Structure 1
Amino acid sequence: MPDGFVINDTTYAGEAASQFIVKSITGADTVNGGNVYVKDGIKKKFTIPRWDANYEDLIQDRAATPTSKGKMTVTGQTLLPEDYMIYLEFNPRDFEDHWYATQLNDTLIDRALPYSVESVVVQEVLKRHAKYFNKLIWNADTTLSSIYKYFDGFLKKAKSAADTAVVSSPTTLTASNIQAEFLRGYNMIEDALRYDPNMKFYCSYATYDLYDQSQINQTYKGVDITQQGKDTFKGRKVEKIADFPDNTYFIAKGMPTMESNLWIGLNSIADEGLQLRQLQANSELYFIKMLMKADVQIGWNNETVYYGA
């Protein structure tokens, strides 16, 4: 079993800071940005109820004894969270040659982690899971054999749905063409949502930078090169998402409430959650473990626009 800790600094030259300096990583842009509704506590599956009716079919001439006209349609989209987990074993004795050695228990039989180390381990594992989860919800594909196989992400579901508005002939996005390509997608938004402020463009960091550069490059009414460009297109928010594929964008109504067209289903409440504890009574090893169940779903595919290969 490989050791979960790789200690490269085994020097001890006096007191150490009480906290680690940790490496910066991108996080859960999708969730933290208020772009999806998160439904937690799903034990098996959850149905997103959908109601629809043709507004013109409901209208008729006034009559003393009217007859029924029109119909209401109730359907649903299903969230079916799938299992995955984090599990890592390590030996707290790895810190005996580290500058945290002074904070270890005096007895070898109880080499528990110092609280400061334990706190960092938990926080940083959670941060790295947030980065993974952000990538998973957009890029997951059940045909893969990698750790992104657990369910179909938003992009796979959008591409697979027959009623998604798909922009024809996508191309490699550049600072020269991105505004024109964004406009093609914007023009495909349904009239009922064209001016909805919660309709957003989702794209990669690189695509966002191209849009930013395109604003600087404008001959007239351009952005000062020392400033960041506006994060809106035709009044709609352009959301940069970490690990989103390049040369791709997706337009949908994204909100942190049930009115959102983008949903995430979880069962993080009922499961064991995050554990950091001794492996077993006769072992010096510790483990960190987290169980997760997750899925994503689009409420109405015909209210989304997909651009990409």
Structure 2
Amino acid sequence: MASSVNFAQNTYSGEVLNDLLTYTAQGNDTYKEGLIHIKSGIQFKYTIPTIQLGKVIQDNVPTPNSTHGAGAGTTGGLNQYTFTERYLEPQEFMVYLEFNPRDYEKYYKFAQPEGNLVFRDLDPKVQAKMLRLLMDRKNEYIGESIWCSAKGGSAAAKITAPEGCTTIGGENAGGPMKYFDGAIKRILANTATNATEVEKAGGQVIIAGTTELSTGASVEAALNAMWKKCPKQIRKKAGLVFVCGWDIWDLYDQYLSDKTVKYSDNTKVNEYRFKGKRIVPIVGIPEHTIVLGEFTTGMESNLWMGVDYANDAEVVKVERLQANSELYFFQMRMKMDVNIVRPAEIVAWTAYKNAE
């Protein structure tokens, strides 16, 4: 991985570069709410192993032998040790923007840089601040792509969306969501009838319902159905949360406020909880969709993101657009991928469906 970056002939250590990469991945609701684990430095492929054990408790005998167990990976149950793998394979894309440095003069004026205007002798931390302002415009793309991206675009995704709703693998304000598979594509691919062995690794996602959620009562019914289907062994996990969009939460919040007997009056927002578990409304998850699972920033999270620089020689570039221009361009090449880890421990309600 690159240890330095060149901003218009100003080379400095990778501290700010790493800060920028982290900010690029973390500047969205999914990370800010603590719902995803980020694995950086994946140049090509990262394996996420999943292990399933069979019946490991047996009769006590002086010398165990093969007659006391069915063997690893077999269907007998005893001594079963099944090792499956899911992968993060970050795909390349680029952030590109042209801008006039004078628009940000108040952020560097105090540093009194010498030489050509902004980037030649300017303190690296000030440069990072300026670039963060630019990166703010791309956070919406990353946040939505975590959930709604599909490798190859909407045609390759083959997912039917409810009328008027976000297209999986379509475009958002930042650009096309076509470079890697997001969480919804991973969930639906896992439950498809023609799912591959890699897509089925780690068990099958539990689909609690597929109807559209257009009223607060239907949201409450969906939350109840999801909780009842939630595997018992994960119900007490601290990181177990319901994730939905703001459209879903607004329906449910209004529904609770309209009740005659309630815990909050209409001047307050109702508690973001159901059955003691957090409800986390975020920007990015598609409409008519709720996902229940263990989502944290730690390695135990059921949702991972892999990120890396696209290459070592040309990670981030900020240079003058051309010799006679005052404009500069900002270019950042990076890689990203998203995957679920233990599908059997995820419960989903979504009106999005596989087309085939």
Q: TM-score band, normalised by the shorter chain?
A: 0.7 to 0.9
Instruction: Give the SS at the match of 2:236.
Output: coil
Task: Kindly indicate whether residue 345 of structure 2 is the aligned counterpart of residue 300 of structure 1.
Answer: no
Higher helix content, 1 or 2: 2
Q: Which residue of 2 aligns with 1:126?
A: 135
Shift of the alpha carbon at 1:195? 2.6
- Residue 29 of structure 2 aligns to which amino acid in structure 1? D
Cα distance, 1:282 vs structure 2: 6.7
Q: Are residue 139 (structure 1) and residue 139 (structure 2) matched?
A: no
| C-alpha distance 292-63 of structure 1, shift in aligned 2 (>3 A) | same
Aligned letter for 2:61? A
* Partner Cα separation in structure 2 for residue 299 and residue 46 of structure 1: 12
- 1:189 Cα deviation (Å)? 1.0
What's the counterpart of residue 62 of structure 1?
A: 60
Contact 2:91 2:336 in 1 (8 A): yes
- Which consecutive unaligned segments of at least 5 residues does structure 1 have? 1-26, 104-108
Amino acid of the residue matched to residue 155 of structure 1?
I
| TM-score normalised to structure 1 length | 0.78
Measure the CA separation in 2 of the matches of 1:62 and 1:195: 32
| CA–CA distance in structure 2, aligned partners of residues 90 and 287 of structure 1 | 6
| Partner secondary structure for residue 209 of structure 2 | coil
Measure, in 1, the Cα distance between the counterparts of 2:93 and 2:244.
26
Task: Give the Cα–Cα distance (whole angstroms) in 1 for the partners of residues 53 and 128 of structure 2.
Answer: 53
Matched-pair contact (CA < 8 Å) for 1:40–1:269 = no
Aligned-residue identity in percent: 32
The whole-number CA distance in structure 2 between the counterparts of 1:230 and 1:99 is 43
Aligned length: 272
- What is the match of residue 167 of structure 1? 208
Q: Which moved more, 1:264-273 or 1:128-137?
A: 264-273
Is the contact between residue 310 and residue 334 of structure 2 (CA under 8 Å) also seen in structure 1? Answer: no
* Partner SS state of residue 60, structure 1: coil
How far off is 1:118 after superposition? 6.5
- What is the match of residue 79 of structure 1? 88
Distance 1:302 1:150 in 2: 26
Distance 2:182 2:141 in 1: 13
Which residue of 2 is the match for residue 155 of structure 1?
A: 184
Q: 1:90 to 1:228 in 2, by over 3 A?
A: closer
Letter in 2 for 1:39: K
Corresponding residue of 1:17: none
Deviations, residues 42-75 of structure 1 (Å, cap 9, x unaligned): 0011001112202xx1111111112252121222
Letter in 2 for 1:238: I
Work out the CA distance in 1 between the residues paired with 2:105 and 2:81.
Answer: 69
TM-score, L = length of structure 2? 0.69
In structure 2, what is the Cα distance between the partners aligned to 1:99 and 1:171? 49
- Single out whichever of 247-256 and 208-217 deviates more from structure 2: 208-217
1:199 to 1:269, Cα distance in 2 relative to 1, 3 A: farther
> Relative to total residues, which structure has the larger strand share, 1 or 2?
2
- Please state how far the C-alpha of 1:236 moved relative to its aligned partner: 1.1
Q: Which moved more, 1:236-245 or 1:39-48?
A: 236-245
Distance in 1, Cα, partners of 2:190 & 2:85: 14
**C-alpha separation between the residues in 2 aligned to 1:252 and 1:193?**
8
Aligned partner letter, 1:171:
E
Q: What is residue 223 of structure 1 aligned with on the other side? A: 264
